[in-house]
Amino acid sequence: MKIKLIHLVIGILLVSMNVTGQDKEWENNVVYSESKVPFYELPDVLVTSEGKRVTTVQEWEQVRRPQIMGMFAGLIYGRVPEPEQPVTKVYEVISVDKNFLDGRCTRKHLLIRFSNHRGEVKMHMVVYTPNHASGPVPTLLQISFSGVENSGDIGANNVQSYGNLNSGLPLIYFLNKSFGVAIIHGGEVVSDENGFGGNSIQRLYYHGNQSLPRADEWGVLGGIAWQASRAMDYLETDTDVDKSRVAILGFSKLGKSALWAAAMDTRFAMAFSQNSGCGGAALWGRIYGENMKYTFRNNRWLCENGRKFVGNEDDLPVDQHMLLAAIAPRPVYITSGIDDNWADPMGEYLSAHFATPVFELYGLTGQPSPERPKLNEPSEDRALSYVVRTSGHGYFQSDWDRYIKCMEFHFKKQGK
């Protein structure tokens, strides 16, 4: 069973909103108007592959969710194969600064080495925890575009950027709220290339004379999600971090990976998706902005099995609302930019809306209305949150304020 949608009805909701402006990219032959969104149907998140409607949490967790995760692994992001020989993992502490940021926090810089008979792949990580905390703290893991390979990760010498990381994250705000922050360089262990050579983790998982991932095996986004889980492996060992309250955040391409990581790895207690678009929070079926064709332009971000759905999105047995649903009952926060047409803000909201029935199975609140919230009208106090804010593709101070508020609500209520 599929959910039928008519683009014109949805388009009426946007008449009064600004739909032009700051985009990540612009292509002349891409849909940027609600009136041009084709008719499409969405798979019903609560109807199994056998056509049976799911009505209980048990049916969801034991039947429908495994079906959905299997389809995403085999058709979209790719599965992580078993390596020919086990991959070993070694943590190397490069430095520990207990007086970082004028004594506000402890900064740990780590190098994680992965190796087997096929070679070695390295990944850096930095962890900041507030010194005033009396015990392990809730922590945000940011998958960042900025490198953490050296100590130049904070604007400590500039009064305007004091306490801000080069990734854009205002570290001092999180520390003041008794939150920790961990940073990894998204893609450090997987290159945006067709060859997956060099420092790409995929090569450690090849068999025999294999030189590329197979059609159902992980691409770039899957590799970055794997990287996030390996960061979580370390956070579980850090006594300054509350391993039961780790949130994951990614922006743009890294927002796509963050959602897949959160769906695969239930150790992540919360997921933040910032301007993630297609392959992230936005629906494939709308073919709006960045679509399946342009995602595959980007050098095997997805597994090769997905390529057959370019121009045939209606044949997909899954869509991204099902990925958001797979994270339930853990909180998810989707941030859209009204001027970021490439990432399809309306498609990101509709994905949250159609994922809501699964959150409701757990007795939680999502986005029950088909009408998108008003501009700059956030909802951090629910399990499936969404905001469409002014401006476009990027981080803004209001984003950080909302993420902190969301973490406070979910991580600190009832002493959790």
The catalytic residue positions are: 252, 393
Could you give the C-alpha distances from 125 to 52, 186, 231, 400, in angstroms and in order? 45, 10, 7, 21
- Nearest CA-CA partner of 300 in 157, 197, 207, 377: 197
Contacts of 348 (CB under 8 A, 6+ apart): 273, 276, 277, 280, 281, 282, 334, 336, 386
How far is C-alpha 44 from the geometric centre of its chain's CA atoms?
22
Question: Is-contact 365 301, C-beta < 8 A?
Answer: no
- Nearest CA-CA partner of 273 in 339, 188, 201, 347: 347
Contacts of 313 (CB under 8 A, 6+ apart): 40, 284, 285, 287, 291, 292
Q: How many residues does the chain have?
A: 416
Could you give the C-alpha distances from 103 to 99, 170, 181, in angstroms and in order? 4, 16, 16
Question: Is-contact 250 257, C-beta < 8 A?
Answer: yes
Tokens of 230: 């390996």
Torsion sign, CA atoms 221, 224, 228, 233: positive
Report the alpha-carbon distance of residue 121 to residue 118 in Å, rounded. 10
Largest CA distance in the chain: 61
> What is the per-residue burial (b if ≥16 Cβ within 10 Å, else e) of 136-163?
bbbbbbbbbbbebbeeebbeeeeeeeeb
- Nearest CA-CA partner of 352 in 381, 319, 376: 319
Contacts of 132 (CB under 8 A, 6+ apart): 104, 178
SS3 93: strand
| Vertex 285: Cα angle to 282 and 289 (nearest 5) | 55
